[in-house]
Amino acid sequence: MKEQIIEILSYTIPSIVTGLVAYYFFSYQFRKEQNRENFKLLREDKKQLLNMRLQAYERMTLFMERINPSKLLVRVTPTDDNKELYVQKLVQSVEQEFEHNLSQQIYISEECWSVLVTSKNATTHIVKKTAEDSSITTAQQLREGILKRMVEGNPPSTTGLTFIKEEVKELF
């Protein structure tokens, strides 16, 4: 009986040891493969995120170009000589462009978003401030007054564009 137990143990102990070694080996290999898969997924996610961020920067670049006063005045023409209606139309156009791009703030830095919002606000401020000039009485004179202001200094959208370009450079 004792010999039978020893004989059984002589077969089972190596089997158990071999089984444990195989279990740990396959467990290790499985974890290694799983980590490799996770790394691949993470790398793909980063690539997709980079593409989405670049698209956001492209959209915001287009936004800055569209609210550049010289381009805004060409795109949004007065329907009559009423200066106040034209101011509303210009400001409304800037605000609509901005609202159309609100979701892009998810993909760009807070600092960049802040610069872009400031550029937008400065653009509408230029339009409103120019309209306050009492010598400007018609929509056409308002257009000319805004263009004169742009000749005197850079449009606010230039600051936003410069910031976007610098931030995109940092991505690469």
Tens of pLDDT, residue by residue over 85-109, are 999 999 999 999 999 999 999 999 9
Answer yes or no: are the C-beta atoms of 64 and 157 closer than 8 Å. Answer: yes
Per-residue pLDDT of the chain (172 residues; tens, 9 = 90+): 778 888 888 888 888 999 999 999 999 999 999 989 888 878 887 888 889 999 999 999 999 999 999 999 999 999 999 999 999 999 999 999 999 999 999 999 999 999 999 999 999 999 999 999 999 999 999 999 999 998 888 999 999 999 999 999 998 8
Q: How far apart are the first and last CA of the chain?
A: 76
Distance CA 162, CA 166 (A): 6
pLDDT tens string 119-135: 999 999 999 999 999 99
The angle at the Cα of 133, spanning 70 to 88, to the nearest 5 degrees, equals 55
